[in-house]
Chain A
Amino acid sequence: MSARPVVAAGAAPANPARLLAAPLAWAFGPGDPRQLAALRIGLCSVLLFRLASRSDVYLALTEQPRELFRPLSFMTLFEQMPSRSVVSACLVVGMVAAALAAAGLLARVMLPIALAAAMLLNGMYTAQGKVMHNDVLLMLCLLAIVFARHSDVWSLDAWLARVRARRRGVSRPAAAVGPSYGWPVRAAMLAVALAYLIAGLHKIVESGGLGWASSENMRWILYLASDSQGHNPIALWIADHAWIAHLSAYGLLAVECLFFLVLINPRLRWLFIPAAVALHAGTWLTLRLDYSAQLLSLVIVFVTWPTVVTWLDRRRRVLTRG
């Protein structure tokens, strides 16, 4: 008798290379240069906004006594917070570079400079004894695109290149869909999806199941948060209604653990992106924790911007004709 495994008639034998083909094609396949450019514009704009709106925070950190400095990661290279002049220079350089990268002027140089400045400034922010997650996803998404050809379209660099080519009498074709533009966007998507999945799985693992949502955990979090703020009526109202607290805990856990499904079925973006936005809005309203940078990064990465632009363009033309 033959020892060969029984394979159903017509079924293809399992082939690891074949199993990997679909995810590899997704991750490394062609992409639209406009989507990558949209990520550059959006993420750099958020970075510029964060640096500008929190410049007082970064400057205040320079006044921290040396004894209270609690560095993490690369900040252990420092013995105390960098001086005010270093931070001021970092802020100016970071904001100018972020603005130029968003506009697409010398963007391949400006984006790494903006990212390096933001790394140092946010590294300082997380050297206070507490891991700060507020801007981590923005940093990771910028890191995903920093080496990419993000300014081939929708940039001053591309416009200047066209102008120069026209002067020389050379025709310069616009960048088209290609493999150079897909992977940075997918890397940013993976970073976002992994961040939510890992955060959700930690909750499940640490409570040994669904205890994080089924116990009174969320109520205690909300009561503590309200007390720490003096008084938060929204947090107290949810905490006082056990079923609402449980529902929000299950909802949060579901969003975090299942968010990665948007990578498999893009239609689920219509469900999970509003849900994630609601999650962060709820976190702000109840815990007063500012995850706006994460929320904006998520929207920028997962919205299909060329489709939005095409739709807006069509609307504009209809209105003009009307």
Chain B
Amino acid sequence: MPLAAWPARLFVIAFTLAIAVCGAFSIEAWPLTGWRLFSRERQPISTGWMATSVDARDRETPIRFGSFPRANRYFISVMATYGSLSRDEQEATCQAWARLVRGAGGSTRGGLRLYATTRDMRRHVGRREPVAATPMLRWTCADGHGARAAAVPGATTRRSAEPATARAGL
């Protein structure tokens, strides 16, 4: 049986190996990818992120990233690596969000606050309403003093997180 020419064979072998290696070792060399689609097993306690803008009277308003232009909605994904950014990069990222908030008519006179959230999904069983998140302050930024981690790790403020934070684990 006649087989394909050598260049074609080499191409297919290299192409297949590249897909397999990137997949096996979770290498993200897009369009070659690790194909990690919902691969992490979700636990009953779901973690996520939320952000609030703070006005001059220190009142906080949850930021609805879903209402921003499409390119600026991936708050959760950006937060996944936020901790590894330099302080200047963190502040620059916050300033970009603050501009978007102001563009949407919000106030950021007191800066932004970034919270890690947890939700107990067991409380959702048999209930229609979203489960409220428990936020823990992690960073304060865009308030003229630069981005900084929360001084007291245990400092928590109970408030209802915006539903979009539920996408954190996806």
Do A and B belong to a common assembly?
yes
| Residues of B148-170 contacting chain A, CB below 8 A | 163-167, 169-170
Instruction: From the candidates A57, A130, A183, A207, name the one contacting B74 in the complex (CB within 8 A).
Output: A130
How near does chain A come to B41, taking the closest CB pair, in angstroms?
Answer: 4
How near does chain B come to A58, taking the closest CB pair, in angstroms?
Answer: 10
Asked if B144 is an interface residue, CB under 8 A from chain A, the answer is: no
Question: Given A128-B77, A228-B163, is A133 in contact with B33 using a C-beta cutoff of 8 Å?
Answer: yes
A87 to B164 CA separation, bound complex (whole angstroms) = 29
| Residues of B54-92 contacting chain A, CB below 8 A | 69-74, 77-78, 80-81, 89, 92
Asked if A178 is an interface residue, CB under 8 A from chain B, the answer is: yes
Query: Which of A24-32, A106-114, A298-306, A314-322 contacts the other chain?
Result: A24-32
A131 to B59 CA separation, bound complex (whole angstroms) = 35
CB-based contact B31/A25 at 8 Å: no
Count of chain A residues near B, Cβ 8 A: 77
CB-based contact A199/B37 at 8 Å: yes
**Chain B minimum-CB-distance residue to A147:** B11
CB-based contact A239/B124 at 8 Å: yes
| Residues of B33-67 contacting chain A, CB below 8 A | 33-44, 46
A66 to B71 CA separation, bound complex (whole angstroms) = 11
**Chain A minimum-CB-distance residue to B100:** A65
Residues of A within 8 A of B89 (CB): 67
| Residues of A198-240 contacting chain B, CB below 8 A | 198-199, 202-203, 205-207, 211-212, 215-217, 219-221, 223-231, 236, 239-240
CB-based contact B23/A198 at 8 Å: yes
| Residues of B86-120 contacting chain A, CB below 8 A | 89, 92-93, 95-97, 99-100
Question: Given A30-B2, A68-B96, is A227 in contact with B33 using a C-beta cutoff of 8 Å?
Answer: no
CB-based contact A136/B31 at 8 Å: yes
CB-based contact A30/B1 at 8 Å: yes
CB-based contact A224/B92 at 8 Å: no
Residues of A within 8 A of B71 (CB): 60-64, 68, 81, 128
How near does chain A come to B33, taking the closest CB pair, in angstroms?
Answer: 6
Residues of B within 8 A of A75 (CB): 30
Instruction: From the candidates A28, A65, A202, A229, name the one contacting B12 in the complex (CB within 8 A).
Output: A28
Asked if A72 is an interface residue, CB under 8 A from chain B, the answer is: yes
**Chain A minimum-CB-distance residue to B90:** A67
A187 to B7 CA separation, bound complex (whole angstroms) = 14
Question: Given A28-B3, A60-B71, A129-B80, is A199 in contact with B39 using a C-beta cutoff of 8 Å?
Answer: yes
Asked if A123 is an interface residue, CB under 8 A from chain B, the answer is: yes
Which of B31, B36, B124 has its CB near the most chain A CB atoms (within 10 A)? B31
A212 to B39 CA separation, bound complex (whole angstroms) = 8
A226 to B125 CA separation, bound complex (whole angstroms) = 12
CB-based contact B35/A133 at 8 Å: yes
CB-based contact A68/B93 at 8 Å: yes
CB-based contact A144/B15 at 8 Å: yes
How near does chain A come to B56, taking the closest CB pair, in angstroms?
Answer: 24
Question: Given A57-B70, A216-B44, A230-B163, is A194 in contact with B20 using a C-beta cutoff of 8 Å?
Answer: yes
A67 to B71 CA separation, bound complex (whole angstroms) = 12
Asked if A190 is an interface residue, CB under 8 A from chain B, the answer is: yes
Residues of A within 8 A of B33 (CB): 131, 133, 136
CB-based contact A25/B77 at 8 Å: no
Asked if A42 is an interface residue, CB under 8 A from chain B, the answer is: no
Q: Besides the contacts A183-B8, A228-B163, A228-B167, what 17 more A-B pairs have beta carbons closer than 8 Å? A: A63-B69, A72-B30, A74-B30, A126-B30, A129-B77, A131-B34, A140-B32, A143-B31, A198-B20, A199-B35, A199-B36, A202-B34, A215-B41, A219-B121, A221-B170, A224-B46, A224-B121
18 residue pairs bridging A and B, Cβ less than 8 Å apart:
A28-B9, A29-B1, A65-B96, A65-B100, A70-B78, A73-B31, A73-B32, A129-B81, A130-B77, A136-B33, A178-B2, A191-B16, A194-B19, A199-B35, A217-B42, A224-B42, A227-B131, A239-B124
